[in-house]
Structure 1
């Protein structure tokens, strides 16, 4: 595929005409100014303090602020609220409460705390690359992404007020289910990390959805591999990405304005879900870096975990189970991922 073919393919996926609605509403300009303000202060604060988690501290709030701005715009301008926007805002507030709770208990709301990956990154890279990365990726890219995932509510401003549809009910149930699974995954991870860093005896930490009886063998392994984490190496990240895809689908499936954008030179141009696609690219890159750190700390066990459990999809985990059985490697891999803990627990019971 040459350059011209690639340009044609991308223009089919993201038709230029389908970007027009994103640029034509007066509510967008204040949101862009607010985004620029957030880029500026998070970058300056990070440079002054040497702490790169400034965006992390406001990640839990900014998407909801953008969504609330677009949702309430009609009220501030004497128009009728869009019910679909209100529903999306309510779901995002639920998302915010879950993430804020998890961020609080991990200590990231503390001005002195920082994501454990940033010191490792700074220690391994040239100072100039660190400066460029801090501004270009952490401050600029992440803040634009936070604005982008608030754009589904912006789409609703191009529709006349209308009642909710069946698609809205289905997507609401799906969004709540994803939040419940993500909350469960967070609790399992936090329960494991709490046990791992404690000096207490092995046992169960009673967090909701995280009632595994952790053992010393689990602690030695170094990472959680039970519960939802036995089906996905990052179940919380998988649910997070899917939640924002569902948010994009609200206006895409229920909006009479968005639907005419669907037929194009290919069946389904992807412009309406572009923000979620960009968010997924961020998660893929971030997850790869996170796993490289874990792999360096626990090379044998984590390599086995990667061979046995899919990165995001439980379906891929089933495929790995089948393939390891065919190749005769399943027993050894599962012993590294779960067997040592099971043997430790058996000895304890005896």
Structure 2
């Protein structure tokens, strides 16, 4: 079995413990409901706890199946690549988990709309991930994890459990809180729901085109490098002429659109996950730009790019520097 196929098989098998446990819980609840008409009295203490603590159960399943199992697998294969792929999959699993929970109550139109949009978001991000990795599973891990492994040396094997996996639980469970709220409040649709849909879809579209333009830029540079020609130092065309990180901007629109659903349902606190994610992405932006400036062939062009172009929110170029940019 070649490496790509082996990694693909691992990726498809690794979430099975959580999926099988949840399906077993649903079967037991359904059987108990048939037995006594409500589903509560006939449940064992373990299943009864699961039925009354959906958010805690989701965190428990995440801890054992992602934090522990993914970490053990990463130690066996000496790579943390799998968490990047599952960033695109776990929100889909969570929205179905909340929607199918036995005691869930919600508006069917709102739930169905969010499920469809979550699929669109996931398909876009999964396609971009696999396209970027040249359709290879596990070819490489995130460069930030590689840098941290060098930084922490012999301690990285245990520190990675917290830095790579426990931290992902905070981020992913936090930003997906609106999905939980959407499936605990049965309230008719209103104008704010349509506004939330507009924000979410705008984010998906912006991120798709920004990532596609970036992919085309990287591909062209790879061709130029193969021909022995100088690479283009910086992408400053298309959406990238208005924002230095339009892909990040689109991604944040998606998560804040979901937060708007929760706010509309009277649970503004559920936007805390989107806020934390935005703050972390701001830090990642600093790391990415620092990395760009460390590459000698593009440092000067990128410094000018920083002076003329907005960081996240698309905006017109700074006129004082834009004129200089055109003249060079």
Identify which of 19, 26, 47 aligns with 2:75: 47
The alpha-carbon distance between structure 1 residues 249 and 81, as it changes in their structure 2 partners (threshold 3 A), is closer
1:233 aligns with 2:244: yes
- Residue in structure 1 matched with residue 168 of structure 2 by the alignment: 142
Q: Which runs of 5+ in 1 are unaligned?
A: 1-23, 203-215, 259-269, 341-350
- Residue in structure 1 matched with residue 206 of structure 2 by the alignment: 181
The alpha-carbon distance between structure 1 residues 47 and 282, as it changes in their structure 2 partners (threshold 3 A), is farther
In 2, are the aligned partners of 1:57 and 1:109 still within 8 Å (CA)?
no
After superposition, what is the alpha-carbon deviation per residue over 1:299-331, rounded to whole angstroms, capped at 9, x for unaligned? 21111111111211224x54xx14xx2xxx554
1:59 aligns with 2:87: yes
1:112 aligns with 2:139: yes
* TM-score under structure 1 length normalisation: 0.70
2:239 match: secondary structure: helix
Q: What is the CA distance between 1:81 and its match in structure 2? A: 5.5
The alpha-carbon distance between structure 1 residues 126 and 249, as it changes in their structure 2 partners (threshold 3 A), is same
1-structure distance, mates of 2:277, 2:123: 20
2-structure distance, mates of 1:172, 1:95: 12
2-structure distance, mates of 1:274, 1:232: 25
Q: Which runs of 5+ in 2 are unaligned?
A: 1-50
In 2, are the aligned partners of 1:82 and 1:157 still within 8 Å (CA)?
no
2-structure distance, mates of 1:119, 1:311: 25
In 1, are the aligned partners of 2:206 and 2:247 still within 8 Å (CA)?
yes
1:300 aligns with 2:300: yes
1:243 aligns with 2:254: yes
- Residue in structure 2 matched with residue 30 of structure 1 by the alignment: 57
In 2, are the aligned partners of 1:245 and 1:276 still within 8 Å (CA)?
yes
* TM-score under structure 2 length normalisation: 0.75
2-structure distance, mates of 1:174, 1:167: 10
Q: What is the CA distance between 1:271 and its match in structure 2? A: 2.4
The aligned runs of 1:304-319 (5 Å cut-off) are 304-315=304-315, 318=317
The alpha-carbon distance between structure 1 residues 142 and 201, as it changes in their structure 2 partners (threshold 3 A), is closer
2-structure distance, mates of 1:143, 1:89: 21
Identify which of 223, 232, 245 aligns with 1:220: 232
After superposition, what is the alpha-carbon deviation per residue over 1:225-250, rounded to whole angstroms, capped at 9, x for unaligned? 21111111110011101210110111
Q: What is the CA distance between 1:144 and its match in structure 2? A: 2.6
2-structure distance, mates of 1:50, 1:104: 20
In 1, are the aligned partners of 2:256 and 2:274 still within 8 Å (CA)?
yes
Structure showing greater relative contact order (alpha-carbon pairs closer than 8 Å, 6 or more residues apart): 1
2-structure distance, mates of 1:275, 1:99: 19
The alpha-carbon distance between structure 1 residues 146 and 280, as it changes in their structure 2 partners (threshold 3 A), is same
Q: Number of matched residues?
A: 273
In 2, are the aligned partners of 1:185 and 1:229 still within 8 Å (CA)?
yes
